[in-house]
Amino acid sequence: MKHLPDEMRELHATALLYSQGKTGLGDLYAHLGMCEAASVVQLDHAAYASIREFQSVVSSAWNELGINRNALSESEFRAWLQTWLEVWELDQNE
């Protein structure tokens, strides 16, 4: 199993909670911000790019200010998140 920074593990835990309906997009976005700010993530270009992509998808689903005309629906976001969680599990078991 790969060693990951605590921020990434907390993001994964929050994503699982969201998939179970136990937390909201705001919590996911907050954890993404913590990941993005973590120096260990900033130094890992692949991890940083992954976090930025995740932020983009969450922003599209949350669409808090209604500025995204092509916002993701809840079901589209949940499908994307499920795929992300499955890929995470595969990556961690390599």
**Which has the closest alpha carbon to 54: 10, 11, 94?**
11
Position with higher pLDDT, 50 vs 4? 50
What tokens does 60 get? 């599209």
Q: DSSP readout, 32-77?
A: HHHHHH-HHHHT-HHHHHHHHHHHHHHHHHH-TTS--TTPPPHHHH
Q: What is the pLDDT of residue 2?
A: 63
Q: What is the pLDDT of residue 1?
A: 46
What tokens does 11 get? 């993001």
Q: What is the pLDDT of residue 63?
A: 85
Question: Which pTM was predicted?
Answer: 0.84
Q: Residue 80's Cα: distance from chain center in Å?
A: 10
- Residue ranges of the domains in the chain? 6-92
Least confident of 5-9, 24-28, 32-36: 5-9
Q: In this predicted model, what pLDDT tens digit does every residue of 31-85 receive, in sequence order?
A: 999 999 999 888 888 888 989 999 999 989 988 888 888 899 999 999 999 999 9
Sequence-separated (6 or more) residues with CB below 8 Å from residue 50:
none
